[in-house]
Structure 1
Amino acid sequence: MFERIREKLEILADAAKYDVSCSSSGSNRKNHNKGLGDAEGSGICHTYTEDGRCVSLLKILLTNHCIYDCAFCVSRKSNDVKRAAFTVDEVVSLTMNFYRRNYIEGLFLSSGIFKNGDYTMERLLNIVKKLRTEERFNGYIHLKTIPGASAELLQEAGLYVDRMSINLEMPTELGLKLLAPDKSHEDVKAPLGLIKDKIQQLNNEKALIKSTPKFVPAGQSTQMVIGATPESDKEIMHTADHYYRKFNLKRVYYSGYIPISNDNRLPIIGSQPPLIRENRLYQTDWLMRFYGFNITEILNDANPNLDADIDPKLSWALRNLDQFPVDVNTADYKQILRVPGIGVTSALKIVQSRKFGRLYENQLKKIGIAFNRARHFIRYADSPLQLKEFEGGHIKNLILSESTSKYSKQATNQLSLF
């Protein structure tokens, strides 16, 4: 029996690795009545929480059987792979045993779809319900929503989990129809809208009712596969922006396509996913959510794709030199935040520090900004030059050459240790 469970775990944990929608929880589910675990402040999946802690979870599929034949998916029904399925009790037992041994801090549970959406979703619901009510497990639970599942099952599941997510799969409906003709973005919008409305309803009731049930306290997320279809970065990020605004998502994840079949509908891109592009998309996502950028400022008809050589913030600045230099001693927080090399924390420090006097170069370096990059776009108390003396192309080449020199020096220093 033990060997069979171990074999299932190897198969279904390996199949789950393609889902990258893992993050810190943001949940506030506390431990009450001597239960086991506490999700408050915890995250998942060997990632980092907002306070810098690295955390982990048991990340598995309930089954890798699936009625769909999505060309990009390793669990598609036409793929010749070993199939397995856990029972409800097996998942509950694994989670509790791993947690008691301090291997994990929570559970990330997804599944292929066997029979239909309701049949699969009902089993996922039974797992999380049993963990919460019978095992009194208070650790973090992230549950993948099954497309086509009934509203009643989704709403009940939301009472027991911290985060729910459903994969958008492809950035556009056209791309989805090409690689997964049985699926539709409408199947994703329905559950996202349902969960969003329920969260909002309970938040509104808090003003009138002393105690309301916890319902998906860590919110919702989604995931898109990048590089399997020919969408531009503009199309990808405009889709993400739309879903952020319409469904109040906590995160959109961008998963670089990994070649897993010889289907002629799929591109030939070698054995590695497009990691640089994936990274640039995440940086753009960050600019939208934390830096006050509108997506049309970064990606538009004139600039439909991100620059692989430089990050999107620097790329935007070089295209908009008329907005620089920014005087760090007088500019407001939002202007300072747009300077390449200055992050959210550094911008706040600058605004706070200048209350005690004008800021000089040595002070800016101590604050922690990337000074070699930022110096081309700012004015400070002892600025040697004005930005207008440089052209955008010259600044870009200068920054790239400085970066290359810096990394070469670091590599040389590391080699000298041996």
Structure 2
Amino acid sequence: MDIQRKLAILADAAKYDASCASSGSQPRDSLGGRGIGSTEGAGICHSYAPDGRCISLLKVLLTNHCQYDCLYCVNRASSNVPRARFRVEEVVQLTLDFYRRNCIEGLFLSSGIVKSPDHTMEQVVEVARQLREEHDFRGYIHLKTIPDASDELLARAGRYADRLSINVELPTAEGLRALAPEKDESAIRRSMARLRLRIDDTREEARRVLPIRALPGAAPAAAKPPPFAPAGQSTQMIVGADATDDRHILASSATLYGAYKLRRVYYSAFSPIPDAARALPLAAPPLMREHRLYQADWLMRFYGFEHQEIVASPDGLLRLDVDPKLAWALAHAERFPVDLNHAPREMLLRVPGLGVKAVERLLQARRVRRVRADDLRRLHVPARKVLPFVVADGHRPAANAMAMSGSAAAAAEPAQAALF
């Protein structure tokens, strides 16, 4: 099989994995004529990092052959799909060729499991090793690690990759046992814990090495330890392949963030696959559900929300007609309106339409003078969304302003959904 045909098969097979953002990596470039690639800048962009940068990655599988038969996976052992397998050197050359053409900034590499987890992981790591050591590649590398791989292979992967990820696949252990009985939820969590310990130990060691210029005659300063997965680790959950509701999905995410210090939990709406098992749903969940989970995840990570307070409905699902922050505000009308001149930061962050940066600007502005409604526009805040929920000098919302705001937002959502 020629390499173009392999690329067509294995790039398409990788499209279901959403966990590939490049934020958090250390800046490296090829200034001075040394090395190739960069973790900064942009080529032909296909996704966005959390800090807003467009990023582009060559996103492929080493192979879509797999010895596991996970029911939700299009590449499962019993699936009737075309199969292909790259050689290590082919992935290395493709990455370099695409970079030189300014098509990508880096590589996202995953793989089906062939022969054994260690055999597969060794080949994945070898791709990264050749790029870094033989070609001095400075671009971003994200490796999907195999949970049952040895500690030594995980340690090598972290030396070459900016980010490592291990997919938990499904939000609950029960779901994993039902749809992927060959995978061990405990092994996945153990691998995440090992990665967290190595990342934490490397960062702590780096902090102990102070960048102080040595005095004449003094012993040389200790060398800074080599980085280990400087962009941390991430994971992915499939949404809608089983009956797990949003309340339990967010609870699982909160546990992952707290226990393993993950940079991101990615949510991927289940996509029906050919020759699907009867245990799987016949239709995909609404893509808006995936989007709402990302918004709720953002509230947990940056806005001080606890996972248990985000989903209020009896069925455990997020509202699809309005975003989770607005839904919370409408369900807690007794907490509003919020006084922009006196409310603490924690409460300002709960006002629909106020983001983290906007709240910081408001806090700075009110140290100098009292905040007026007109100031919201100067701070580039969506005033129409904010004003029904706040009090400011010269402004007090009407008694039914919150309800009207919720109705208007719900009516606008179908048109906005196409943007996501």
TM-score (norm: length of structure 2):
0.90
Give the Cα separation in 2 of the matches to 1:228 and 1:147: 21
Note closer, same or farther for the CA distance 1:41–1:197 as it changes in structure 2 (3 Å cut): farther
Equivalent in 299, 302, 327 of residue 311 of structure 2: 299
Matches for 1:119-130 after TM superposition, within 5 Å: 119-130=119-130
SS in 2 for 1:355: coil
Q: Which runs of 5+ in 2 are unaligned?
A: 210-221
Query: C-alpha separation between the residues in 2 aligned to 1:378 and 1:133?
Result: 57
Q: Say whether residues 1:316 and 2:328 are aligned partners.
A: yes
Aligned partner of 2:238 in structure 1 is 225
Cα drift, residue 372 of structure 1: 2.1
Are the aligned partners of 1:92 and 1:130 in contact in 2 as well (CA < 8 Å)? yes
Name 2:393's counterpart in structure 1. Answer: 381
**Alignment pair present for 1:267 and 2:281:** yes
**One-letter code of the match for 1:167?**
N
For 2:43 and 2:177, how far apart are their aligned partners in 1?
Answer: 34
Matched, 1:24 2:22: yes
Question: Contact 1:224–1:253 (CA<8 Å) still a contact in 2?
Answer: yes
Q: Which residue number corresponds to residue 241 of structure 1?
A: 254
Deviation (angstroms), 1:263:
1.3
8 Å contact from structure 2 (residues 390, 396) kept in 1:
no
Matching residue within 336, 354, 367 for 2:348: 336
- State the Cα distance separating 1:273 from its structure 2 match: 4.5
Contact 2:23 2:51 (8 Å CA) reproduced: no
Structure-to-structure mapping, 1:148-227, within 5 angstroms: 148-206=148-206, 207-208=208-209, 209-227=222-240
Q: 1:43 to 1:297 in 2, by over 3 A?
A: farther
2: CA distance between counterparts of 1:120 and 1:291? 40
Quickly say closer, same or farther: Cα 1:399–1:142, change in 2 above 3 A.
same
Q: Do structure 1's residue 250 and structure 2's residue 263 form an aligned pair?
A: yes
- Partner of 1:355 in structure 2? 367
8 A Cα contact 2:70 2:76, kept in partner: yes
1:301 Cα deviation after fit: 8.3
C-alpha distance in structure 2 between counterparts of 1:384 and 1:313, whole Å: 21
1:41 positional shift: 7.3
Say whether the 8 Å CA contact 1:25–1:162 is kept in structure 2: no
1:6-85, aligned counterparts within 5 Å? 6-31=4-29, 34-39=34-39, 46-49=46-49, 52-85=52-85
Equivalences, count = 401
RMSD (Å), alpha carbons = 2.4
Equivalent pair of 1:64/1:112 in contact (CA under 8 Å): yes
Per-residue CA deviations over 1:111-145 (Å, capped at 9, x if unaligned) read 00011100100101111111110011110000000
The aligned amino acid for 1:61 is L
- Pick one of 395, 409, 414 that aligns with 2:402: 395
Contact between 1:29 and 1:162, CA under 8 Å: does it hold in 2? Answer: no
Provide, for residues 199-231 of structure 1, a one-character-per-residue CA deviation record: whole Å limited to 9, x for no partner: 111122120444111100000000000001000
Shifted more, 60-69 versus 91-100: the winner is 91-100
Give distance in 2, aligned partners of 1:230 and 1:28.
Answer: 39
Provide the secondary structure at the position in 1 that maps to 2:296: helix
Separation in structure 2 between the aligned mates of residue 57 and residue 320 of structure 1, nearest angstrom = 42
Q: Is the 8 A contact 1:328 1:336 kept in 2?
A: yes
Partner Cα separation in structure 1 for residue 408 and residue 151 of structure 2: 56
Partner residue of 1:87? Answer: 87
Superposed displacement of residue 371, structure 1: 2.1
Q: CA deviation at 1:24?
A: 2.8
Structure 1 residues 44 and 144: alpha-carbon distance in aligned structure 2, compared to 1, 3 A threshold: farther
